[in-house]
Amino acid sequence: MSAPTNAANPTAAILLIGNEILSGKVEEENARFLTRELRALGVALRRIEVVPDVTDDIADSVRALAGRFDFVFTSGGVGPTHDDVTLHAVAAAFGMEVRRHPDLEALLRAGYGDRLHERDLRMADIPAGARLEYGPAGPRGDARAPWPVIVVRNVWILPGVPSIFRRKFEAVRELFRAGPIHGRALYSREGEGQIAGALDEAVAAFPDVEIGSYPHPEARDYRVKITLDGRDAAHVDGALAWLAARLGDAVVRTE
């Protein structure tokens, strides 16, 4: 288990690999799912990138993201066809060779049975520095799902098919659990220009609370939603109380 469960403020990036997302052929589901999961786990998602099925593009993104964030999750490009280049790209990102992994080959042979085509074994060709992560439950010792997640350094390689993406992530999710992120909100009947000065003061007074301001022109009873997030619940609540007092009659409600 490599997840730094004691890290105070773990960060993450998501790298979606797939022409089908960029061409609008499929509705993107995996980043939406993982964004919610990471938020619930207390992992701060700091970047999402969507790149085409091009080895150099993927390798460049993997290298940059892995060097900057605690965890990188990739989605897609791990099947046996010509457009599945993610494993080679991750290997290239770290200067590793690609080798057939005997445990994965055994899982594929057992799982596919008579339907296995030689070509399917390409899914067992992974970076030489990879490890297989089964999650807290460990390997089941048979070919039933979930299969292990392939992990290279801090890069967690997940498949693009949404149902399998979810199943695999759920098997390992408890490895990433960190302290919760507390979120509160305030709704203002005044516009952003009117409240911007008060927000500046709150940002300065509560440096560990992340304050966001979002106009909602279609809302009926307010004009701006202000969000407050942080690791320390007392600080977040304190910032909310301070801001509510400062904005006075502009406050429609808090939550």
Stretch that binds a copy of itself, among 88-96, 146-154, 198-206, 240-248 (CB under 8 A): 198-206
Binding pattern to a copy of itself, positions 176-195, x when CB under 8 A? Answer: -----x-x-------xxxxx
Nearer to a copy of itself, 128 or 144 (CB): 144
Residue of 106, 196, 205, 245 that binds a copy of itself (CB under 8 A): 196
Residue of 7, 128, 137, 203 that binds a copy of itself (CB under 8 A): 203
Of residues 27-56, which lie at the interface with a copy of itself (CB under 8 A)? 27-28, 32, 35-36, 38-39, 44-53
- Based on the shown chain and the rule CB under 8 A, indicate whether residue 252 belongs to the binding site for a copy of itself: no
Nearer to a copy of itself, 41 or 172 (CB): 41
Residue 255 burial by Cβ neighbours in a 10 Å radius (0-12, 13-18, 19+): exposed
CB of 24 to a copy of itself, least distance (A): 4
- Based on the shown chain and the rule CB under 8 A, indicate whether residue 220 belongs to the binding site for a copy of itself: no
Rounded to an integer, what distance in angstroms lies between the CA atom of residue 230 and that of residue 189? Answer: 24
Rounded to an integer, what distance in angstroms lies between the CA atom of residue 79 and that of residue 122? Answer: 8
Both tokens of 133, joined, read 């992560």
Alpha-carbon distances, residue 143 vs 51, 96, 100, 160 (angstroms): 32, 28, 18, 20
- Based on the shown chain and the rule CB under 8 A, indicate whether residue 254 belongs to the binding site for a copy of itself: no
Stretch that binds a copy of itself, among 148-156, 168-176, 210-218, 238-246 (CB under 8 A): 210-218
Residue of 6, 8, 25, 102 that binds a copy of itself (CB under 8 A): 25
Alpha-carbon distances, residue 61 vs 46, 74, 78, 80, 87 (angstroms): 14, 10, 16, 22, 13
Residue of 1, 7, 22, 106 that binds a copy of itself (CB under 8 A): 22
Largest CA distance in the chain: 71
Alpha-carbon distances, residue 200 vs 108, 122, 126, 196, 241 (angstroms): 56, 54, 49, 6, 15
The site for a copy of itself, by CB under 8 A, has a size of 68
Rounded to an integer, what distance in angstroms lies between the CA atom of residue 2 and that of residue 123? Answer: 23
Rounded to an integer, what distance in angstroms lies between the CA atom of residue 249 and that of residue 57? Answer: 51
* 8-state DSSP, 23: T
Nearer to a copy of itself, 119 or 140 (CB): 119
| Contacts with a copy of itself, residue ranges (CB under 8 A) | 16, 19-28, 32, 35-36, 38-39, 44-53, 57, 79-84, 112, 115-120, 122, 160-161, 163-164, 181, 183, 191-197, 199-200, 203, 210-218, 227, 229
